[in-house]
A = this chain, B = another copy of it.
Amino acid sequence: MVGGGQLARMTHEAGIPLGIRFKLLSDTPQDSAAQVVSEVVIGDYRDQDTLRAFARGCDVITFDHEHVPVEHLRALEADGIPVRPGPEALLHAHDKGVMRARLSELGVPCPRHRIVADPEDAAAFAEEVGGFPVILKTVRGGYDGKGVWFVRTPADAVEPFRAGVPVLAEEKVDFTRELAANIVRSPHGQAVAYPVVESRQVDGVCDTVIAPAPGLDEELAGQAQHLALTIAAELGVVGHLAVELFETTDGRILVNELAMRPHNSGHWTQDGSMTSQFANHVRAVLDLPLGDPRPRAPWTVMCNVLGGDYPDMYPAYLHCMARDPQLKIHMYGKDVKPGRKVGHVNTYGDDLADVLERARHAADYLRGTITE
């Protein structure tokens, strides 16, 4: 696996029971996954020789993130190493312009959008969709709200062009909430769909995920799963695909973003589903039959744990574990910095209000927002 973040850490955890020998390419030995994996190569994935040397002897390569240049992936394939998901699929996760063009071609409902050349063109786009505000995004390099601008005036439209990366303009969608449709697809074409979840963001960062999305119209849920399965099949995705969606005020769903790897909106599956997204991602990239994605409890809630003012979270464990013996804590081994994602918690049960309260309380307590 390329990349030493928490997704690699949790993928390794899920691979242990399958008897997988897991090899990691990590930036530093302190990276989240590098702390827990036996076979770690420290190196820069942006360097093609490093990447090719790392991949030698691997049965298959997969990824913790979407930043590996496509030409490097093609070089691995030329070396005879299966890359999953492959470069042709990952192109769409690398470049939001390519993604939007392809999805539109497939008839997948998206916010209205087009590439804009400069601030004036952005203003023209705003006119086309009924006026400001609009969303501007650099087509590459954004995540967790970075590389995305909420543009209210022509003056706001200057900043996004500074990086020299093409800029995609999208209409500001009137939505009631965000959803995510997560599926896993294997090379031989088997696919499983997890229940569609509600994803609540705070400051552009995923904060809470509720599985399944409360009160979601069954037909809309089925439509969302179908969309995700179609996208995966058409783009040739192998492994986990997260399709982030808007549920609009007029009852439609529109695709917001794609992620071709395990995803924050699927962390609930570790404790809430029969087979976690990480286990199914491993099974998919190894072309093993996929596991049952169904939930094990009526409700599961995930809350991200962000770093707060206290560098040592250990004392907070005592409170959280004693208060809620069913709480599932997942920490990433990261140094605590204010606002940094350092872990998440999962709770499950029959009563959504209770399940939500328990996850919220634990996440806030671990962060230090509340001390009770």
Residue positions of A touching B, CB distance < 8 A: 9-10, 12-13, 16-19, 21-22, 34-38, 40, 192, 270, 274-275, 283, 288-292, 296, 313, 317-318, 321-322, 325-333, 343
Q: For A326, what are the chain B residues with a Cβ–Cβ distance below 8 Å?
A: 274-275, 291-292
Q: For A10, what are the chain B residues with a Cβ–Cβ distance below 8 Å?
A: 16
Q: State whether A9 touches B16 (Cβ < 8 A).
A: yes
Q: State whether A17 touches B331 (Cβ < 8 A).
A: yes
Q: Which residue in chain B gives the minimum CB-CB distance to A190?
A: B322
Q: State whether A317 touches B331 (Cβ < 8 A).
A: no
A-B contact pairs, 6 of them (CB 8 A): A17-B329, A19-B343, A38-B38, A275-B326, A289-B317, A292-B325
Q: State whether B22 touches A331 (Cβ < 8 A).
A: no
Q: Which residue in chain B gives the minimum CB-CB distance to A15?
A: B36
Set B37, B274, B290, B330: member contacting A17, Cβ < 8 A: B330
Q: For A34, what are the chain B residues with a Cβ–Cβ distance below 8 Å?
A: 38
Q: For A17, what are the chain B residues with a Cβ–Cβ distance below 8 Å?
A: 13, 270, 328-331
Minimum distance in angstroms from A29 CB to a CB of chain B:
9
Minimum distance in angstroms from A74 CB to a CB of chain B:
28
Q: State whether B22 touches A321 (Cβ < 8 A).
A: no
- CA A292 to CA B318, docked complex, whole Å: 15
Q: State whether B329 touches A317 (Cβ < 8 A).
A: no
Q: State whether A288 touches B21 (Cβ < 8 A).
A: no
- CA A325 to CA B321, docked complex, whole Å: 32
Known: A19-B343, A331-B17. A291 touches B325 (CB 8 A): yes
Q: For A333, what are the chain B residues with a Cβ–Cβ distance below 8 Å?
A: 19, 21
Q: Which residue in chain B gives the minimum CB-CB distance to A292?
A: B325
Q: State whether B291 touches A321 (Cβ < 8 A).
A: yes
Q: For A321, what are the chain B residues with a Cβ–Cβ distance below 8 Å?
A: 283, 288-291
- CA A317 to CA B22, docked complex, whole Å: 18
- CA A326 to CA B289, docked complex, whole Å: 11
Q: State whether B318 touches A289 (Cβ < 8 A).
A: yes
- CA A270 to CA B279, docked complex, whole Å: 14
Minimum distance in angstroms from A96 CB to a CB of chain B:
32
Q: State whether A35 touches B35 (Cβ < 8 A).
A: no
